[in-house]
Structure 1
Amino acid sequence: MSNISPLVHARTFTPPVLPSAPAPAHGPALETGTRGKRSLEPESPSSWTLPALPTVPAEAVSSADRALQTGLGSQALRQATDRRIHLAANTSIFPLFHAYRRSFNTPELQSWFLSKGMALSTVVVKPDSVTGSVTRDGVTSVQTFTTRDGSGWWEASARLRAAACGLDPDGAGLPYASLTGSTFSRNAVMRWYGVQPPAGDDSVMQAQQALAAADWSAPENKAELGLRVQTARQAIGALDERAHLAGVLTQHLTDKPDEHAVELAGLAVAVSSSSGLTRNEAGKVGISDALQAYGLSLPKTVGELRNAVRWLTTVLPPPAPLGNYSGLLGHTWAPGDLSAADKAALVAVGEGQTDGDSSDSMLVLLNTGGILDRHTPEQLRTQADHFISQLLSDPLVLLLGDSLAFDQRFHGASGTQQLTDAERKQWIIAAIKLNIDPQAAARPGTIAGYDVYQSGNSGRSMGEVRADLEAHLKQNKFLDPRAAPLVAHLLLASAAPEFLVRGIPDTLRIGSPEWADLRLGVMFAERQGGAGVSRAMSYAQVMALSRLDPRTPEEAAILDNYGMDALLDWGLMQGVYTRPADGRYTPRMYQQAKEAFDAQRTQLLQALNHFNVALPTREKRAIENLQPVFPDLSVEQIKALRVYIADPNERRNKKSSEPVTRPLVETYMTGDLVEGRWMLLTPGQALPKSPTRKTPFDFNQGLSKADQDAIDANVRALNAKIVQLPNVQAQLPAEVDTYLANLKQGLSTVTQRMIANLPLADRQALELGKVELFALREQVDEVPTLDQTPDQVEERRGRKGTVIRCEHLGVIRYFEVFPDKLLIIKRDDLPDTLTLGGELQNHTKVYGRWAPTETKLQNGLEEPFDFMAYSSGAVPRSGVKSPRLIIEKIGDTLPAAPSTEQSDTQTVVPNSFSSARTRSIVDRIMSGNFVHHRDTALKLAQGKLPLEQQRELSAHRDQVLLGMIPFVGAIMDLAQGNIVEGTRGLIIDTVGAVLGGAGSTLSPLFKSTKVVAPFGAKAFRVLEKGVSIVSGFLNPLDGTADLLTGAARGIFSLPKLLDKVPKPLLLTTLGSVEEKMRTCLGVSRALNQPPAAASPAGQRATHHGHNYSVPVQAVQIGTYWYATDPTTHLPIGTPLDGFKPLNATAA
């Protein structure tokens, strides 16, 4: 079917919730077959949306349909006003009506209506919206919610829309249906049976005649209606099955690592009443068969099990009614698209209308109905889809669209020049876009000459780049500047759709791995769910898509293809290579980008590992040393052991401050655990005592020989263990040094990352300019400079932050760098020169009674820095000044690079993450102002500092780790100290999440090892699969498969490799794999829509040939050749202007 057909885009249903759809409440019992397992909760009738319906004989159905038809003609159709009619259970429509009313009354949907305050009796459901009366604060108004406005309608209404798609094929709208009633809209029933209801009183007679002439019992009608019923009920059943399967699998998840084996082969599960799978005697299906129906293999490990659940609970919104606003403007021509000549004609129409007067421009349509006059730019920006739909629905605008299509002899999806409104709208959209940008859709990321992915946009926020784009569009003299937000939306929808995702955090930077991750998720959504799908999704939903693990090597190849553009643009922005003169990337550039990405990924993973290791302590080291000596005891049991002074004389003569018994661990930590002094007491063991005196004259009566022998044996046994113990005091300094070195390496990596994410101009300045670094500290009060000790100075040092001053091309820049806060702030409010060293003040100090001496006090000044952020975990506050601060330089000045032409330096794109200059800056920060001083860290490790300070350090480590990974919900167990097997590997593969712009939450199901697959771990591995797949991705064979449509740009030059590539096989295989992915996600057209109608009898002969280089089948209409729709085989699009037939075949 044509890519501009409204049926494809408007009524494709999708499952309800992302990232996880709840399993049906009270799920069906789990059958375990040959193995006995814990029984699950019994199945409840309410678990499934649609119960099985009794089979009705065909004769009974025909009879009920005739009765319904007769009743409509005799009573219900006497006037134009719609009314409710009774539907008998045996009618053809009843199974679909039953599915509709059941779907309408699910708890999830009822909760949604309640949350909106919408009266059910007023509800009208359309393909992509719901309208009804809403009462808020006593005020009632009619409101419409759509699948694209973030209201939650698409998530909540999946089952209802699946039923409505079959029940309302024209999309005219359906009312509410109660769960118990059997009455429904007369007009909806008539439309379903193929009879148009009266539009007014003057058309009642015509409707009655059409009803009387209709043959509802004709076999072809019966087959079509039956297919609608079957498709809708199967779609709803598939939703229930996916949720139920996810619930069943979730019950078998454990805290075991991903590599742990699971055994599920004996399980059996219930399936929906519409399922075609073969059931066993209990009416259930083997888990393997149930999973296979959705393209999933039986999980054999915990990791595979988690991935299967993620796939089953991942869903997509329905496609946008107008897709990505490029229904006629494909990146490469395909049947139904406009040719180059068609585009030129539309541009000429726009130019011909203007004659220098912008009021006559095609672009004046953007103010249809006064949209620009009545709304602010922010409203136009945030509700662009709504306003675009509004202006395109104007009758005069639709008439113009029809005229433009007629002038170009365009045939729509019907195979005629009778167009749908959606097709007319696409012509208006194409005209507007081409009048703004005659090269619209020629290259992703380029809009009217503005390159969204240019190196200069690296490090900037999405909002900043969009503002630049709108300013660029305003330079068009024929465009009303107020329309720039709408036009930007129209053009970004196809050129850079990630800009239109809802809820993108302000901290997300273009050119960062998170940005590449976002682009991968958007491409996944657009390719799997349909053009324009991502506009209905939130940032968290898109990022969840990007982190799905491929299940097969072929799926990994698909994801590689989806991420190829993003990786190549990332490499350009990171300075890995320069933009080629002809704009075409090469395989070598791809390899360079991949290697650079992998290098960053590896270093960031190492950093995460370092942050996941706590500061070593004396107690921890002591326990680790004691464990081999007491191999049969747990850590808690070792902590419970106590030692007792064995010599009674020593006990009598000890100081009162020295205890007789002490914990074993504490005694070992302090170095007091020496041979011959102690005996070991187990928990509950009584202390040895001398016999009780019987008379006052019983003196010096010692222990019995047996007791003394037992003590001596205890002491000898403990001595044997003591000699095996190393000196824990001597071990600790080396371990602290290793910890600090690793921490320094980790913080160095994230600081390099922060510098690499700065805007290009700042990166150029740091790379090429003169750079100085400064530390801050508070003054030492009333102590002359000569008398100040290093400890006094260190105590007042602000080690959490460093100031960078950079001078480049006459511009001075300042940055505050907080490595352990993962924060870098540009300061535009500082003076060109900082005052170093504070100020010196003369001070007289008397040394001894008669020796007054003139000394100097070094006092600080009030400086525009928030010193609390430099000395604690606090976040820096803007506009704060701190008193008594001394600024000191760190290391030598880094000189500017050798002078070059200014024009040359402005075009340099430094590879900041890996450059020697960045390493020099970071090394100075880490060596001269590292966040932890060694002596302080050693005291913490030895436990000599207060418990509160130790707790603060531990909490700070957790904050750094949590800051690097936005999936806070998945690692709270780690932060709370609940470290289970495998937790040290928790999400450390998730480079796409590192330093991300915003947090997201994951269900408790994912609280285990390797929660999600990272962007860099599963994408961008094309070269590992060989050159053939690289070539196949970037040089598709004449559009053989649609795999690459809207994805890779054909930007590689591989002429010598093309002859060696088995591309047809590759593309055919990957195309089928892509469709299997759609089936798993519940968005396959085969699942959600009836098969296309067969070609009508007497169709014209089709001819194979090429339109320029694209193979097509075409039909001749008059003197013109038209391409045929690959699905319906009907003529579609405008006449072919380069068709050369090869041969003719009968249709």
Structure 2
Amino acid sequence: MGDKENLKALGLKLAEVAARLGASATTGAVLAALTNTVMAVHADSSYPKTTGSQVDLATFIRSLGLSLPTDHFSLSGLGTAVAHRAMEHPLGNLGGALSWPVPLSVDEQRQLQGFAQKEAAAGVGKGILERLYHPLSLSAETLGDPAKLLDTLLDSTQAQALGKTLQVHMQGITNESSQTDYLLAAINLELDPESMTSPDRNKVAGFDLSGHALIGKPTTTLIRQLGEHLVRRGKTSPQVAYAAVKLLLASRAPAWLVKNIPQSVTYGSLAWVNLAIAATTIEAQTPGKVANMTYAQVMLEARNVEAADPAITQRAQLEALVDWGVANGVLSRKSDHLYSADELNALTEQFNARKQQMTVASEALDRELPSRKELALARLKERFGDLGSLFEEKLIDIKRRVRWLDDGKGFNSDASNPHSMLDVAMMELEDPDAVFFSQDSRIPIDALNANCTFGVVATFNRQFDQAISDKKAAIATYIKQLVAQLPVEDRQHLEQGQLQLFQTSSYTQGTGVSSRVDHPKQEKLLIKVTHNGASRAYEIDFNQGRIKQTHPWRVGEKKTKVAHDVTVTKSFDPAGSESLRTANPSSNPAPHDSFSSTRTHVLAQAFVKHLDLDNPAIKAQARGLTTQDKHDNKIEAVTEFALNLVPFRSAIVNFQKGNYTEGTLDLALDAFGFLTAGAGAAGKVIKVAGGGLSTASKLLRVANIIGSATIGVLNPLSGLGDALVGGSRFAAKGIGFVTSKGIKYVNSLRGATGNYDLLKTISKKHGPTLIGAYKVGGVETQGVAVLRNGQWFKYDHVLKRPYGPPIADFSPRGAPPHRNVLSGSADVESVKRLERMVFL
């Protein structure tokens, strides 16, 4: 753990140096900074204590066996690589022997659990964690940090001793983590014995991770409830409950442990689906990493890892999608393998369609309303080039041809003179008698007289009408999503109860009888709900992006006055909302598809009407004012004060994305909880995510919503044999996964020439190593095994070491020189002969 802290400190220091030196840093500057910058060395690390508590970066980097960076690119790259390495937990996903490439079988789990129970019974407290905790004297800081507490317990002398006892009992081979692997497995099984006999990926220690009580709730709710559940069931004490929660979730549901998950990313939301998929795929590549990552880091890394193993990614997508479907009333709940291809295809289509709808809505909410001024400036630049401030200088007089009674001809000057080129483009004069004059030679007066039409007015009207239509649709989608993300109980109240809507406005009464000053109307819409004989009050808060319960006294028609300030709450009954006032009971306790329901649609449309998007003041502001408009006294329609009285104005102006700064990237959460990056950060995002896109438009589009991809066809699961292998620990594996991985690795060992060079290399380090067959959950698979003390042990090709208990039925089939040395039951002399062999 101390080494991990050192890597974290190094990563931070390298990032600081890179930022300080800048992209143009010379080799000399980089090397000097590395020599002159020091970092603290963790007291519990393996770094030599004789060097003191600090070391310069250059010395520490060399101690890791790494070359020193010589420019800004390599400096930043090393910092990123070190930071990512620091996120990896030394003990992986804390599943121990239950997370091995081939985990302990159910029989082996029972054997380990039974022995561990006897050992724990001799100690103090409720179980292994309590036994490890009891003799330690811990600081308040450690006790208040579940991750640090867990690391401290697992690092203790008692933990190592107990782990060794468990390993010896299970006849496990010794490697760097074997003691802790058996200890972690024993703790997991003690806390969650149900996983052996009744595996369910959404059940942890009898707690339902997909329960109705968690839908629409942030991650903190689950962490708290699971901790309380463990204490209530006597699994652990309150002091170590949340350390136990971290240990259980690390291998079973790591997405819940991701740091800094925004409150708007709740279980059952589309944003949660993206997070769950990303976390699962990252964990498959680097177990134990996501618990040390932030939400933004997970989403940014998702694009890299999702392509690494399509089988893992598809399994992660299926599980996340099924959970989303059940939480949102789109799918009935049953075991994953019972869903048919038709059900999964329909689910995928609905999910992708809904996500696309939200993406379109998010873009529409972000999009500025068209501006007549901006359109006019664009057209002027197209025709005359960029003349800068000249466009707005009032250097043009408009005169009109006139014919007098005596047949004389002349010009009448326009009373609103002078005008600018911008005025001309915005006005779209259609008077054939109008002529432009200017004393300034910079004005292209002849061109204006030849053609003074720019098509601005027609284009503005068309774009504005479309923009308002898009805003209405987007706001309706947003409100539907807010309803769908509510906890199930609140959704039921809104879906089934009688609803009455109320608007609130205020004004200041003047001294005169009829004088008053109106205040901006509230964009919040109040709802009184009567359901099952009880009344509740809710408010739809567009600015904050939430629907929440509020005080019942706020709903109902009333007028309150404090001094000269008056607040009025009135009933709001827009056309088409009549059905809201009628109860809509249902006897089905399961979640409904609130997003697509008729009730939610009607409520969303009512909120759109509440915002008053068709108010003329909105268009008046977008139109802007020309010199002619001001002369004609049209200014009163577009004052800020008048516009602020429109609820939509308040909603749009005050609504802001949540800032989400991550390192050098300025990210944001859009209205639907998706992590986004604007154009300024897009290039950095693509570099981080490793994207390779052909056009700038595609690059920016992909960068806009991070970690969100369309889900393709999902294949049904077989559901066979997983319980026999290792229960729910194989949530993303299963026998088929183990078999295919074993075959791929065996083929890589054989190589193209069949000379088994890799196998020989393993043998030189670990002893005689052969390819062979053994059974996993009753199914024969190919794998690699190492012979040690007359017994065969499985080989982990990722960590490059043997692991686990002896293989009972290993049958060598590879490495021709030794294929026949051991076959079936070997005699003692054959074993000794093979153990003395070294591949030449």
After TM superposition, the structure 1 = structure 2 runs for residues 809-958 of structure 1, keeping only pairs within 5 Å, are: 809-819=532-542, 821-831=543-553, 834-836=555-557, 838=558, 860-861=559-560, 883-891=566-574, 892-894=578-580, 899-901=585-587, 904=588, 906=589, 908-927=590-609, 929-943=610-624, 944=635, 945=637
Q: Distance in 2 between matches of 1:761 and 1:653?
A: 75
| Aligned partner of 1:317 among 76, 86, 105 | 86
| Aligned partner of 1:1048 among 705, 709, 732 | 732
| Aligned partner of 1:1104 among 773, 776, 795 | 773
1:578 maps to a residue whose letter is S
Matched, 1:446 2:207: no
Is the Cα contact below 8 Å between 1:369 and 1:391 reproduced in 2?
no
Shift of residue 732, structure 1, vs aligned partner? 5.7
1:328 maps to a residue whose letter is A
List gaps (5 residues or longer) in structure 1: 1-5, 28-39, 50-105, 135-142, 144-152, 166-231, 248-271, 273-309, 414-419, 687-712, 839-859, 864-880, 973-986, 1052-1057, 1073-1085
Structure 1, residues 96-138: CA drift from partner, whole Å, max 9, x if none? Answer: xxxxxxxxxx73686463xxxx5x8xx768359999977xxxx
After TM superposition, the structure 1 = structure 2 runs for residues 253-264 of structure 1, keeping only pairs within 5 Å, are: none
Q: Distance in 1 between matches of 2:50 and 2:497?
A: 60
Q: What's the counterpart of residue 615 of structure 1?
A: 369
Q: Distance in 2 between matches of 1:660 and 1:9?
A: 74
Q: What's the counterpart of residue 431 of structure 1?
A: 186
Shift of residue 406, structure 1, vs aligned partner? 1.5
Q: Distance in 1 between matches of 2:298 and 2:803?
A: 34
CA change 1:133–1:1132 in 2 (3 A) is closer
CA change 1:631–1:970 in 2 (3 A) is farther
Q: Distance in 2 between matches of 1:639 and 1:894?
A: 52
Q: What's the counterpart of residue 595 of structure 1?
A: 349
Q: What's the counterpart of residue 299 of structure 2?
A: 543
Q: What's the counterpart of residue 824 of structure 2?
A: none
Structure 1, residues 356-379: CA drift from partner, whole Å, max 9, x if none? Answer: 9974744531423245xx566x95
CA change 1:429–1:862 in 2 (3 A) is farther
| Aligned partner of 2:113 among 317, 325, 347 | 347
Q: What's the counterpart of residue 134 of structure 2?
A: 368
Is the Cα contact below 8 Å between 1:1034 and 1:1049 reproduced in 2?
no
Secondary structure of 2:397 counterpart: strand
Shift of residue 327, structure 1, vs aligned partner? 1.8
Q: What's the counterpart of residue 721 of structure 1?
A: 451
Secondary structure of 1:317 counterpart: helix
Matched, 1:643 2:396: yes
CA change 1:660–1:11 in 2 (3 A) is closer
CA change 1:1048–1:1125 in 2 (3 A) is closer
CA change 1:918–1:968 in 2 (3 A) is farther
Is the Cα contact below 8 Å between 2:772 and 2:811 reproduced in 1?
no
Secondary structure of 1:890 counterpart: coil
Q: Distance in 2 between matches of 1:13 and 1:1036?
A: 42
1:742 maps to a residue whose letter is D
Is the Cα contact below 8 Å between 2:377 and 2:422 reproduced in 1?
yes
After TM superposition, the structure 1 = structure 2 runs for residues 520-531 of structure 1, keeping only pairs within 5 Å, are: 520-528=277-285, 530-531=286-287
After TM superposition, the structure 1 = structure 2 runs for residues 487-502 of structure 1, keeping only pairs within 5 Å, are: 487-502=244-259
Q: What's the counterpart of residue 71 of structure 1?
A: none
1:386 maps to a residue whose letter is K
Q: What's the counterpart of residue 151 of structure 2?
A: 389
Q: Distance in 2 between matches of 1:942 and 1:11?
A: 60
Secondary structure of 1:665 counterpart: helix
Q: What's the counterpart of residue 68 of structure 1?
A: none
Shift of residue 437, structure 1, vs aligned partner? 0.9
Secondary structure of 1:826 counterpart: strand
Structure 1, residues 1054-1083: CA drift from partner, whole Å, max 9, x if none? Answer: xxxx9xx9x9599949x99xxxxxxxxxxx
Shift of residue 922, structure 1, vs aligned partner? 0.2
1:595 maps to a residue whose letter is E
Q: What's the counterpart of residue 829 of structure 2?
A: none
Secondary structure of 1:763 counterpart: helix
Shift of residue 474, structure 1, vs aligned partner? 0.9
Secondary structure of 2:98 counterpart: coil
More helix per residue:
2
| Aligned partner of 1:803 among 517, 526, 536 | 526
Q: Distance in 2 between matches of 1:1046 and 1:1129?
A: 21
Is the Cα contact below 8 Å between 1:1034 and 1:1048 reproduced in 2?
no
2:608 maps to a residue whose letter is M
Q: What's the counterpart of residue 63 of structure 2?
A: 164
Matched, 1:763 2:491: yes
Q: What's the counterpart of residue 399 of structure 1?
A: 161
Q: What's the counterpart of residue 329 of structure 1?
A: 98
Q: What's the counterpart of residue 408 of structure 1?
A: 170
Q: What's the counterpart of residue 1021 of structure 1?
A: 711
Q: Distance in 2 between matches of 1:622 and 1:970?
A: 37
Q: Distance in 1 between matches of 2:308 and 2:799?
A: 29
Q: What's the counterpart of residue 627 of structure 2?
A: none
Is the Cα contact below 8 Å between 2:483 and 2:547 reproduced in 1?
no
The alignment covers a number of residue pairs equal to: 765
Identity of aligned residues (%): 19
Shift of residue 581, structure 1, vs aligned partner? 5.2
2:182 maps to a residue whose letter is W
Instruction: State the TM-score, normalizing by the size of structure 1.
Output: 0.56
Is the Cα contact below 8 Å between 1:646 and 1:678 reproduced in 2?
yes
Shift of residue 680, structure 1, vs aligned partner? 3.6
Q: Distance in 1 between matches of 2:731 and 2:10?
A: 25
CA change 1:375–1:125 in 2 (3 A) is closer
Shift of residue 41, structure 1, vs aligned partner? 6.2
Q: Distance in 1 between matches of 2:705 and 2:734?
A: 22
1:542 maps to a residue whose letter is V
1:346 maps to a residue whose letter is L
Shift of residue 577, structure 1, vs aligned partner? 0.6
Q: What's the counterpart of residue 215 of structure 1?
A: none
Secondary structure of 1:816 counterpart: strand
Q: Distance in 1 between matches of 2:47 and 2:673?
A: 33
2:593 maps to a residue whose letter is N
Q: What's the counterpart of residue 764 of structure 2?
A: 1094
Q: Radius of gyration: which is bigger?
A: 1
Shift of residue 489, structure 1, vs aligned partner? 1.3
Q: Distance in 1 between matches of 2:91 and 2:643?
A: 56
1:917 maps to a residue whose letter is R
Shift of residue 586, structure 1, vs aligned partner? 4.3
2:618 maps to a residue whose letter is A
| Aligned partner of 1:533 among 289, 301, 305 | 289
Structure 1, residues 622-661: CA drift from partner, whole Å, max 9, x if none? Answer: 5566677x46676766545843355799999979x93653
Shift of residue 448, structure 1, vs aligned partner? 0.4
After TM superposition, the structure 1 = structure 2 runs for residues 135-150 of structure 1, keeping only pairs within 5 Å, are: none
CA change 1:1046–1:46 in 2 (3 A) is farther
Instruction: State the TM-score, normalizing by the size of structure 2.
Output: 0.74
Q: What's the counterpart of residue 126 of structure 1?
A: 45
Q: Give the stretch that moved more between structures: 960-969 or 425-434.
A: 960-969
After TM superposition, the structure 1 = structure 2 runs for residues 52-71 of structure 1, keeping only pairs within 5 Å, are: none
Q: Distance in 2 between matches of 1:624 and 1:10?
A: 55
Q: Distance in 1 between matches of 2:476 and 2:653?
A: 17
List gaps (5 residues or longer) in structure 2: 404-408, 625-634, 686-695, 749-757, 822-833, 835-840
Is the Cα contact below 8 Å between 1:568 and 1:589 reproduced in 2?
no
CA change 1:510–1:645 in 2 (3 A) is closer
Structure 1, residues 145-194: CA drift from partner, whole Å, max 9, x if none? Answer: xxxxxxxx9xx97x8766435xxxxxxxxxxxxxxxxxxxxxxxxxxxxx
Shift of residue 514, structure 1, vs aligned partner? 2.7
Structure 1, residues 818-876: CA drift from partner, whole Å, max 9, x if none? Answer: 33x25224124324x8332x3xxxxxxxxxxxxxxxxxxxxx2269xxxxxxxxxxxxx
Structure 1, residues 452-504: CA drift from partner, whole Å, max 9, x if none? Answer: 13344121011111111111111223532332111111111111222323333
1:678 maps to a residue whose letter is V
Secondary structure of 1:746 counterpart: helix
